Amino acid sequence: MSDERLEIDFSLDPNEIKVPKCRHGPTLLFRSSTQRFFACSACRDRRDCQIYVPFGKRRKNYVKQFENEFRQFRKLVRQIQKKKKRNFFFCHTCSNVFFEGEQSEHVDHRTTKRLTRKEISRPCQTILQPLKNKRSDAQFFFSSNFIDYFIGKIVEPGQWDAVLCIGCPTLFENLREKSTIRSFLLDFDLRLCSFYSSKKMLLFNMFNGHVFSREKTFREEFLSSIENCLVVVDPPFGGFHRALAHSLDEFWKTRNATNIRRQLILFNPYFLSKWVVDAFPQLKMLDYKIEYSSTLNLCRGRKGSPVRIFTDVDPSLFPPVDDENYKFCFECNRFVFAINRHCFQCQTCPSKNGQPSRHCSECQRCVQADRKHCSKCSFCHLPNRCEK
């Protein structure tokens, strides 16, 4: 792909035009100033998924190859979810379960001992490691402290009768263990299908809205019985935000579930707030730093975790994560960083990264406190950083 700016074209009617499919489900139509083409919805790197189909040039043999992969993958998902969840082992090399009679097929692989019932019910805490490919399926598991805070201080006191977890497997398994509120998981981690049947989880691509598992239980027993649903989404941070917003809207429409009252919590780094709000204009960012248990450095920064909560839930309903680092702003009606100072000109507590800020009258906005206004470039920047 070229470096020119790409946008996603949602104008196609999938009922009128056959959209090519790859292992990750239906592709998305991208457009630039010079071309339109179909490419994978989940992978931003062609090395992870090579499908590339110029619009109007279908290249039938090439498309057929990827559509065969799609059908085989969907068949594999359903076979895995049909297996009885007892007396089995897990192979980390194959990322799948196997039974006692199949041990010879995994002699040189890294495997577990026979799994206990407790381990099977808590796969993210006892067996699985987060996925590491930051260009497609990078995965982080929430820390136990944050999970306890989220369930005990946000979910339990809320008015929701169900929680739909999209890409939040650790939250889902803790909800099943620690809360009486109904929950369901939508996730694209194939390994999870070894531990949850389609009655508890659907394999789901959040960027194109495609479901690979059978939806009967989800539609008849989950969607049909709830009125107020909290939707919690933890997407790959480099994903297409507009594609995510579009697929979530279509997800509810195509299942005749638009009458369900829904509120959304989405996790993303603060430096992506421009793209998050562009795709989800109803969401507001909170100051809380979201901690993960992952040893990867992708979700850590010099000033602590950059990940924040974006939500359309009333911000005043979120108590502080701790009393030492947060305070209540009566003007904003929410808890903010203790170091944050309300700006009455901008009508907000402006700091996003937990560092002090000040209002620049020349720029007519708040900037980091260590920035100075430069008369040469009419911009606030660090000393000796003027581009002119």
Q: What is the DSSP string of 80-112?
A: HHHS--SSEEEETTTTEEEEGGGGGGGTTS-B-
Is the predicted pLDDT of residue 229 greater than 80, yes or no? Answer: yes
288 or 13: whose pLDDT is higher? 288
What dotted CATH number matches 130-319? Answer: 3.40.50
pLDDT in tens, 168-221: 999 999 999 999 999 999 999 988 888 888 899 999 999 999 999 889 999 999
**Beta partners for residue 229, in sequence order:** 162, 262
Strands 357-360 and 307-311 come out as unpaired
Model confidence pLDDT, tens digit, residues 297-331: 445 555 678 899 999 999 999 999 888 889 999 99
CA contacts within 13 A on the Cβ side of 260:
26
User: What pTM was computed for the model?
Assistant: 0.88
By the 10 Å C-beta count (0-12 exposed, 13-18 middle, 19+ buried), 277 is classed as middle
Q: Where are the domains of the chain?
A: 7-80, 130-319
